[in-house]
Amino acid sequence: MSDRPPQTPAQALSMGWLWLSLTCVGCNHRGEIKFDDFRIGQSAQPLARLLRKAKCSRCGGRDFNMTIATRLTEHGQPFPHHLPIECEGDAIIAARRN
């Protein structure tokens, strides 16, 4: 598994990432979205641009700690992988926070 973060939902799926997890910095509310659930028209768009529209459903905050993850499966990954990410302009980069 490469630690170079994917730049679009389609690329994430092709690299084996399945989930995007967002934790609101303001209220700690946590949400997850499957890369599969992005609509066709969104899957080739820059993830950073899509994330800019994200808004916490509890407090309306727009600042999130973000992690992408694989899923533990019987025949897939032997263990889950997680990669904290952040946006830098229209690019997704590996987060520097840990």
- Applying CB under 5 A, among 12, 18, 20, 24 the residue interacting with Zn ion is 24
C-beta closer to Zn ion: residue 32 or 90: 32
First to last CA, the chain: 19
Smallest separation, CB 64 to Zn ion (Å): 9
Copy the structure tokens of residue 72. Answer: 């533990």
Could you tell me the smallest distance in angstroms from the CB atom of residue 87 to Zn ion?
17
Tokens 């946006």 identify what position?
87
The per-type count for the chain, helices as H runs and strands as E runs, is: 2, 5
Instruction: Name the site residues for Zn ion (rule: CB under 5 A).
Output: 24, 26-27, 29, 56, 58-59, 61
